[in-house]
Amino acid sequence: MLVKPLILAAVLSMAAPATAGLAQTTSTGDANSMVACPSQSALEQSINSQGAISPDECTTLQVNSLTTESGSLCLIDFGTDQGFLGRLRDAAFPSQWWVSCDQLTAAIGP
């Protein structure tokens, strides 16, 4: 499935700037936030419009990295959007997820 690598590439390009990938920063220009969409076509629409078009089904992710004794950890925060869909999502699953940045990089390859 191509969607997983696209989202992982977007996450990695924010968490590890040396890693090439697809990312669409939000209209505020925040380098730690990006658009994520449930479909490849919606993400490509946002990327190709340079953020001018934001499909309704897309959301904004916040990605931060932290270097610890255990290695580089990435925090992916799905809870940056407000509104009905954001509240529904927050009720359905945790909005913040910690992952190993190194494993995230390895998952998408070069």
Q: Note the pLDDT tens digit of each residue in 21-56.
A: 334 445 556 788 888 888 999 999 999 998 888 888
One-letter amino acid at 110 equals P
Judged by average pLDDT, the poorest of 1-5, 46-50, 61-65, 92-96 is 1-5
- Contact status, residue 11 vs residue 31, Cβ threshold 8 Å: no
**Total domains in the fold of the chain:** 1
- In the prediction, which pLDDT does 82 show? 62
Q: Give the whole-angstrom CA distance, residue 86 versus residue 44.
A: 22
Q: Where are the beta strands (DSSP E) in the chain?
A: 33-36, 59-68, 71-77, 96-100
Domain housing 73: 3-108
Which residue pairs, CB below 8 angstroms and at least 24 apart, start in 85-92?
85/59, 86/59, 89/59
